[in-house]
Amino acid sequence: MNILLLGYGKMGKIIGEIAESRGHSIAGKINIENKSDLDLLDPSQIDVAIEFSQPEAAFENISWAINHGVPIVVGTTGWLDKKKEVEALTLEKEGSFFYASNFSVGVNIFFKVNELLSKLMNETKGYEVSIEEIHHTAKKDAPSGTAITLAEGIIKNLSEKDSWNLAGETNSQENSVEITSKRIDPAPGTHIIRYKSEIDDIEISHTAHSRQGFALGAVLVAEWIPSKKGVLSMDDFLSF
Ligand SMILES: NC(=O)C1=CN([C@@H]2O[C@H](COP(=O)(O)OP(=O)(O)OC[C@H]3O[C@@H](n4cnc5c(N)ncnc54)[C@H](O)[C@@H]3O)[C@@H](O)[C@H]2O)C=CC1
Ligand SMILES: O=C(O)C1=N[C@H](C(=O)O)C[C@H](O)C1
């Protein structure tokens, strides 16, 4: 396949290496400095775009791909206020748009464990839930996209919670899941869910040892997406 990399930073570089090692070609490597090169590309020669850039850039890149009929796999976090707009554009243009806050298989298993635990905790009184995420200091958004997905999984199942907030924010309320974001180098991504009570604590965590799992997941989805249409997610891709 011919793969366009929208964003060629830490993630884009690893994704490019994995894609080439699996026999794919790189149609272009777009960064902030050369983003006008997008206009020089022939979209009909691109099988799929993989977007790992930064929060302010994602919407424009995604719109470019959908408007040019290029299926797009998006890993950038921190732009979700525009997701509904992207979904509407995807349906209007009959395009293919895939977003995941986290492409690693391990984290997607962790998402399921989080949902199961929150269902069990909904039947149990006396525990207060919270989320902690730890990432490298170059990360631009907080909380992480993964922490938001975890909070959404809890809110879906725990009847006493209907929102989330960042620790220290003034909108903190009893019905809100508190998320603490820590920035410590070189952490590629750690997420911890805690249920605390006077009697005991229950804790589950996922720790990425490198960016390899995120990058491989994005390439595997890119190989899968060209024959698919619509607004897609890890639930469509994974069989569990
Ligand atoms: N969903 C997932 O599994 C994962 C998501 N991420 C997310 O991916 C994004 C990128 O992460 P990193 O590679 O670590 O960041 P990075 O800062 O190393 O790279 C971002 C790159 O985007 C480029 N960029 C800026 N504006 C652009 C534009 N208009 N068009 C194209 N490229 C542009 C920058 O030049 C930079 O090279 C972040 O939002 C991060 O949270 C990171 C790891 C896993
Ligand atoms: O910025 C990162 O590095 C990561 N971002 C994603 C997120 O915001 O959840 C995924 C992963 O944790 C690494």
Digit-by-digit pLDDT tens for the chain (240 residues) are 999 999 999 999 999 999 999 999 999 999 999 999 999 999 999 999 999 999 999 999 999 999 999 999 999 999 999 999 999 999 999 999 999 999 999 999 999 999 999 999 999 999 999 999 999 999 999 999 999 999 999 999 999 999 999 998 876 788 999 999 999 999 999 999 999 999 999 999 999 999 999 999 999 999 999 999 999 999 999 988
- Give the pTM: 0.97
The encoded tokens of residue 162 equal 């209907």
Q: Which of 31, 144, 234 to mutate to test the pocket of ligand 1 (most atoms within 8 A of CB)?
A: 31
Structural domains for the chain: 2-103+212-237 (3.40.50.720), 105-207 (3.30.360.10)
Does residue 231 contact residue 84 with C-beta atoms inside 8 Å?
Answer: no
Q: 3-state SS string over 164-191?
A: EEECCCCCCCCCEEEEEEEECCCCCCEE
Does residue 38 contact residue 63 with C-beta atoms inside 8 Å?
Answer: no
Q: What is the pLDDT of residues 72-116, one digit of tens each?
A: 999 999 999 999 999 999 999 999 999 999 999 999 999 999 999
- Smallest CA separation from ligand 1 atom 37, residue: 9
Judge if the beta carbon of residue 32 lies within 6 A of ligand 1: yes
**Catalytic annotation, residues:** 135, 139
Ligand nearest to the CA of 150: 2
Residues sharing a CB contact under 8 Å with residue 153, sequence separation 6 or more, in sequence order: 111, 114, 115, 118
Please tell me whether 88 is known to bind a ligand: no
Please tell me whether 102 is known to bind a ligand: yes
User: Taking Cα atoms as reference points, which of 10, 22, 13 lies closest to residue 221?
Assistant: 22
Cα 126 to ligand 1 centre (Å): 40
Q: Which residues line ligand 2 (CB under 6 A)?
A: 77, 101-102, 135, 139, 144-146, 189, 214
- Number of Cβ atoms within 10 Å of the Cβ of 159: 8
